[in-house]
A = this chain, B = another copy of it.
């Protein structure tokens, strides 16, 4: 039975689901920052997924990175799975701009998140849902 880790629930907005992953938006307006979480229980490491799920995770990750890159005009996409603090496998897909709050450093440890304004959230979720969920993806 898959359930999201409480920290991931607390720190993100729910955008929807792909074939394998929950699609979450990190609630930090400093960076367009998607977190993909495979809907599988008790998985901490990439190689703990079965071969088919590994392929799906990579395909969904790469596809989300490409969509975000195009939509937000990224200077660079950052893709990472760390999990030192939240022990549920999750993949960060982050749009980086050369004028963002952390460039060229990684976003982690770059100071506290700045949550989105409540008034902006519905539009934002709608835009990202169209881009990442309704949009035809290859899996």
Contacts and interface: CB of A to CB of B under 8 A. Distances in A.
A80 interface: yes
**Interface extent on A, as a size class?**
20 to 34
Q: How many copies does the complex hold?
A: 2
Given A47-B62, A58-B54, A105 B84 contact: yes
Instruction: Say what secondary structure dominates the interface of chain A.
Output: mixed
Interface stretch (A7-15, A27-35, A71-79, A129-137): A71-79
A76 B89 CA distance: 11
Contacts of A85: 104
Nearest first, the 7 A-B pairs at minimum CB distance are A80-B80, A84-B104, A58-B58, A47-B66, A78-B82, A106-B108, A46-B62
A110 to B, nearest CB: 9
14 contacts: A45-B76, A47-B65, A47-B66, A47-B69, A55-B55, A78-B81, A79-B80, A79-B81, A80-B81, A80-B106, A82-B106, A84-B105, A106-B109, A109-B109
A83 interface: yes
Given A106-B106, A109-B109, 19 more contacts: A44-B76, A45-B65, A45-B66, A45-B77, A46-B62, A46-B77, A47-B65, A47-B66, A47-B69, A54-B62, A55-B58, A58-B58, A76-B83, A76-B84, A78-B82, A78-B83, A80-B82, A84-B104, A105-B109
